[in-house]
Homo-oligomer: A and B are copies of this chain.
Amino acid sequence: MTPEQMQDGILHGNAAVQRRAMAKAITLLESSRADHREQADGLLTALLPHTGKAFRLGISGVPGVGKSTFIEALGLYLIGKGLRVAVLAIDPSSSVSGGSILGDKTRMEHLSMRMEAYIRPSPSSGTLGGVAEKTREAMLVCEAAGYDVVIIETVGVGQSEIAVHGMADMFCVLQLPNAGDDLQAIKKGVMELADLVVINKADIDPKAAMRAQAQITSSLRLLGMHGNPDHATHGALWQPRVIQISALLGNGVDDFWAAVSSFRDMQTANGRLQLRREKQSLAWMWERIDFGLKQAFRQHPQVKAMLPVLQDDVAAGRIAASTAARNLLLAQMQ
């Protein structure tokens, strides 16, 4: 399939043709071959005018919190409302295991059988930045194909949450009804990214869920005082919320979607949705530039030759770190 055929299939194909074209396009975008990359950039630029209409929903939570069950319930609920849903993932462990558990179709049996849903596992190789780039581009393909909601899920460990926050219109954190958990989330800087905290499995211990809700609400208020500029305290601006659900019993998905819709309306009206996307795109461009500069630097023959020696010298205190940095930068320029 040529990039032109992919483009045509994504924009104008029937359900089956579109699905095949999307899969081919995402595979092309994930390729690391230079000629593929050039074709992929051409395809991406052609699709771009047709993107941006979906709502980009980031969902994070530690293993065991019930993410898959929740996303499946949410996906089926949205399909019931006549919407089309894409589920993408950023799984930092996939590059280790060589295959992704997140987004695995067998996890979401009911959702994956629906034509209105498109589920794609996490890209399985490269750095987190590279994996995130591919997921971001896959998101654009889904948008061009007319999906209404793109869900990007990630596990609640490490930097992947920041990557998902960097491409989502709204960032939701799933928590267990355990009041102590929020400290870990605050520590990792994830809590202050949250637009919505969802206490899942609230039915298991309703009292603990109430306590957790109260505690996280109070933490969010304290964090908000100096926190996320998206969460400023004046005007018609969003205040992060905490809700309780039980995804297994099917309770609370409508409450969740009501909160999401209210966020979306407010962010659209006050212009923050657009602003956030612009900032994300620019931050993303610089992240990729940084990565590319560092890669080119490390591959420069002169740098390659000098680096091991200088690293030893710096570690052993024979040369100052800043002097070594300057010497290496000069070497690359010659």
Determine whether the beta carbon of A326 is less than 8 Å from that of B292. yes
A319 and B315 CA atoms in complex are apart in Å by 43
State whether A314 touches B227 (Cβ < 8 A): no
Task: Write out, one digit per residue, whether chain A residues 295-320 have a CB within 8 A of any chain B CB (1) or not (0).
Answer: 01100000000000011001111111
5 contacts between A and B (CB under 8 A): A137-B320, A183-B219, A187-B226, A285-B310, A288-B321
Residue of B nearest to A219 (CB): B183
> How many copies of this chain does one complex carry?
2
Interchain CB contact under 8 A, A322 and B45: no
B321 touches A285 (CB 8 A): yes
**Interface bracket on A:** 35 or more
Write the nearest CB–CB distance from A260 to chain B, whole angstroms. 22
Which residues of A in the span 123-157 have a Cβ within 8 Å of any Cβ on B? Answer: 133, 136-137, 140
The closest CB in chain B to the CB of A157 belongs to B226
A329 to chain B, nearest CB (A): 4
Judged by a CB distance under 8 angstroms, whether A239 is at the interface is no
8 shortest A-B CB distances, which residue pairs? A288-B325, A284-B321, A285-B321, A293-B293, A292-B329, A278-B315, A41-B323, A281-B321
Beta-carbon contact of A314 and B281 below 8 Å: yes
Interface: A189 (CB within 8 A): yes
